[in-house]
Structure 1
């Protein structure tokens, strides 16, 4: 090995050592994420919790075909100065499966009860997909307790021309519930979810990672979970009625909308401006529906900036 090769190998070793040390330091400094089960509204709601500090807590609400796990890359970034709560929605993950009440107004009431059970009142709320509907219903019902709302790629039933939403080609799955659909999907949960993970992405090879796909498919395959997931869509007619009524009173707090350029486009941004007066809309270039997976750096940056901004300048 000549002198040049020795220097090159030494430089590579030192670089790797520095990167490794930095990673270990970052890991050691990252707030620990704890699993909790909270009794609220007659349910047991599983939540991931991290962080501490005097800043307003933030609640992260996942969407369909995922669970609170989707927020793991974001939680440490938000938990540096505040409490972060990422619950599994009732019916999803390991939270209780309610006998009824899958409409987003009721789900928001359940999450609100969980927040109060943990001793918090004022919060900032973030939601993706079905979770954004719950986030909106939370803010609409408890406006004095919500400092800001972040809505991430999907739509608001009952608001504006919502029936022309971008995923209208998949309207079939809004009505995919009951005995026969459950029998068709049983044992084939992953095949069913692959449609959403692949076809709602701008590039299926950069969508939900393989390890997460295995986790979500196994989680939803547990008894009662697919039926609960179907109910999130079965209740859209009720959601549309509730949201049309909510929309008569504009949200007073700042609202951030993150929309996949290759998914909802400007549709959700336009809808948000019908229900709130202080809206910042961001189109995530090149991304489909799965923002946390397809555009993680930009998504995390936008959410952290918005959540950490002073209340009076959050927009």
Structure 2
């Protein structure tokens, strides 16, 4: 077993962008892509198990964690190109990709742009902009935060990042008392308090209009590789599974019982075995 102290923290320079990533294990590569209000840190409970049979790479996406935070490039197709450049720099020609929340959008954009280089893909609880009736999905029930960007919102949250993120960690969970842990909340709040981090996060939302155009175009040619979709019973439910079946031909959809949006935190005992089984199939 790979222990937590065997998870390496590394940096790579790709296309002028410095990306931070966690790495462990040996074997066929898998990319783990985190979502909003979290970083690559979210995957630490999964990495040791997955690293028994695979090389695991969990990057901080552009603008997040210890990665660079440039002014632009937060369209998910662009963020996917960052990750593809990282994979190429590491010598990976064919990969599996797993994404949660914003990370699932980047994962889909990766698979849609590099179809022959993706072995399989897993999407975990959120939605695909521009696909089907996407404006009615569960995560858009309180749309205010997707329009919360610019000078005034940044001034309002500066020094109050933890207060802002409590909305996500609490209200998107099935039970706020069994959501993201206190230690992880402190970790993420500190990460997003870094210069440029909140602005980058807001830009990820601001890019949804362009993402919707890009994804609608990608969806015209369905993906053929196996796709696993994991959703929270108290969160995306059937919504993301229905969207996935509009963009891919081979979809296995699983609703995680009793869980909200934070699948790795709320339902680790259900989610980790599902991912290991899917990623271990020939």
Per the normalisation by structure 2, the TM-score is 0.98
Query: Larger Rg: 1 or 2?
Result: 1
Residue number in structure 1 paired with 2:243: 271
Q: Hey, what's the Cα distance between the residues in 1 that align with 2:16 and 2:245?
A: 35
Q: How does 1:153-168 map to 2 (within 5 A)?
A: 153-168=125-140
Contact 1:31-1:50 at 8 Å conserved across structures? no
Residue number in structure 1 paired with 2:141: 169
Residue of 94, 106, 120 corresponding to 1:148 = 120
Residue of 58, 62, 69 corresponding to 2:34 = 62
Q: Hey, what's the Cα distance between the residues in 2 that align with 1:27 and 1:38?
A: 22
Distance 1:31 1:213, change over 3 A: closer
Matching of residue 52 in structure 1 with residue 26 in structure 2: yes
Deviation of residue 98 (structure 1)? 2.0
Q: Hey, what's the Cα distance between the residues in 1 that align with 2:157 and 2:221?
A: 40
Deviation of residue 76 (structure 1)? 0.8
Q: Hey, what's the Cα distance between the residues in 2 that align with 1:98 and 1:115?
A: 20
Higher relative contact order (CA 8 A, sep 6+): 2
Q: Hey, what's the Cα distance between the residues in 2 that align with 1:41 and 1:65?
A: 26
Deviation per residue, 1:232-253 (Å, 9 max, x gap): 1000000000000000000010
Deviation of residue 168 (structure 1)? 2.2
Deviation of residue 27 (structure 1)? 6.7
Deviation of residue 160 (structure 1)? 0.2
Residue number in structure 2 paired with 1:187: 159
Residue number in structure 2 paired with 1:262: 234
Residue number in structure 2 paired with 1:85: 57
Contact 2:219-2:246 at 8 Å conserved across structures? yes
Q: How does 1:1-315 map to 2 (within 5 A)?
A: 32-53=6-27, 56-310=28-282
Contact 1:65-1:193 at 8 Å conserved across structures? yes
Moved over 2 A (4+): none
Q: Hey, what's the Cα distance between the residues in 1 that align with 2:75 and 2:60?
A: 15
Q: Hey, what's the Cα distance between the residues in 2 that align with 1:50 and 1:292?
A: 19
Instruction: Give the length in aligned residue pairs.
Output: 282
SS of residue in 1 equivalent to 2:138:
coil
SS of residue in 2 equivalent to 1:259:
strand
SS of residue in 1 equivalent to 2:235:
coil
Deviation of residue 32 (structure 1)? 1.3
Please report the RMSD computed on the Cα atoms of aligned residues, expressed in angstroms.
Answer: 1.1
Q: Hey, what's the Cα distance between the residues in 2 that align with 1:116 and 1:82?
A: 17
Per the normalisation by structure 1, the TM-score is 0.88
Q: Hey, what's the Cα distance between the residues in 1 that align with 2:2 and 2:127?
A: 36
In structure 2, the gaps of 5 or more residues are none
Q: Hey, what's the Cα distance between the residues in 1 that align with 2:141 and 2:97?
A: 29
Deviation per residue, 1:126-160 (Å, 9 max, x gap): 00000000000000000000000000000000000
